[in-house]
């Protein structure tokens, strides 16, 4: 048996009395497991096998396939604030979906586990949904190897010094200077402050989801950049995005 700190990502009925659980662990990545008899008696899984809960999960590997057998579970945090309104619950689902796309089963990254956990904590404590969404998108994409190049113009190579506007180019995954590209709806621009804050959010040194200081202008400029970046790199719009404001 193995015990991992885990976040419950998805749950569905499996057979007559079992549950099929998708969970993201701190040390083994995203896994799936069967909780035998969990729908009849929840003694071994009391208050634990609920969506988005942070738990200590005991499980063993199956001899065949990718399914694990869930043995018992202890609740660490239920994040009740995530369920207070539809928009917050939808954002939590959006974060889970993005992690599922970026991290196939069994791919281990403790950084993304901590990001998801800290994001849920911030949402649970009443953090702003729009700000936390941008912070999560920027950080998750960077952890997944899709960070936006904000250091220099992706056309002429000139270093960005933070003194002028930059134009985002989704097909190049970076910014261009105004000498090389013009702003448009498909090439959104960002001012120096927005570029600086996006760079901070992508940084591995930044890990406090509550400590995001974005102005309304920053949000207005960064939001379309991340939207275009995600859809281009992932190749589709996330299903849960349609429920977000």
Can you give the CATH number for the domain in which 99 is found?
1.20.1440
Q: What is the CATH number of the domain that holds 66?
A: 2.40.50.140
Q: Which residues of the chain have pLDDT under 50?
A: none
pLDDT, residue 221, reads 97
Give me the pLDDT at residue 148, please: 97
215 with 104, same domain?
A: yes
CA atoms within 13 A on the CB side of 227: 14
29 with 142, same domain: the answer is no
On average, the pLDDT of the chain sits at 91
The Cα 15–Cα 142 span in angstroms is 39
The position carrying tokens 């970046």 is 229
> What is the token pair recorded at 66?
């990718």
User: Residue 105 forms beta bridges with which residues?
Assistant: 30
Residue 104 shares a structural domain with residue 135: yes
Q: What is the pLDDT of residue 46?
A: 75
Report the alpha-carbon distance of residue 30 to residue 107 in Å, rounded.
Answer: 7
Amino acid 10: pLDDT: 94
Q: Is residue 175 one of the residues assigned to a domain?
A: no
The distance of Cα 85 from the centroid of its chain, to the nearest Å, equals 19
Domain range for 227 is 83-148+184-243
The answer to whether residue 173 is domain-embedded is no
Phi, psi of 236 (to 5 degrees): -165, 170
Q: Are residues 111 and 212 in the same domain?
A: yes
Closest of 170, 180, 145, 162 to residue 224, by C-alpha: 170
Give per-residue pLDDT as tens, 20-35. 999 999 999 999 998 8
pTM of the model: 0.92
- Establish if 169 belongs to a structural domain: no
Task: Give the per-residue pLDDT at 38.
Answer: 75
Same domain membership, residue 95 and residue 59:
no
């Amino acid at each position: 048996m193995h015990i991992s700190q885990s976040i419950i990502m998805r749950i569905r009925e499996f057979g007559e009395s079992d549950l099929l659980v998708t969970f993201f662990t701190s040390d083994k990545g995203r896994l799936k497991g069967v909780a035998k008899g969990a729908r009849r008696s929840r003694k071994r899984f009391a208050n634990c096998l609920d969506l988005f809960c942070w738990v200590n999960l005991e499980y063993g590997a199956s001899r065949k396939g990718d399914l694990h057998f869930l043995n018992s579970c202890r609740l660490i945090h239920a994040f009740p604030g995530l369920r207070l309104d539809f928009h917050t619950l939808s954002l939590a689902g959006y974060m889970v979906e993005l992690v599922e796309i970026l991290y196939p089963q069994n791919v281990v990254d403790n950084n993304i586990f901590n990001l998801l956990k800290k994001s849920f904590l911030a949402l649970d404590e009443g953090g702003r949904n729009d700000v936390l969404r941008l912070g999560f998108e920027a950080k998750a994409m960077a952890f997944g190897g899709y960070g936006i190049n904000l250091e220099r113009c992706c056309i002429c190579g000139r270093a960005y010094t933070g003194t002028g506007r930059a134009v985002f180019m989704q097909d190049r995954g970076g910014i261009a200077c105004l000498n090389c590209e013009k702003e448009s709806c498909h090439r959104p621009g960002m001012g120096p402050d927005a570029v600086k804050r996006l760079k901070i959010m992508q940084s591995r040194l930044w890990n406090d989801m509550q400590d995001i200081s974005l102005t309304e202008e920053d949000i207005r400029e960064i939001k379309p950049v991340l939207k275009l970046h995600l859809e281009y790199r992932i190749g589709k719009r996330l299903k849960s995005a349609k429920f977000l404001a």
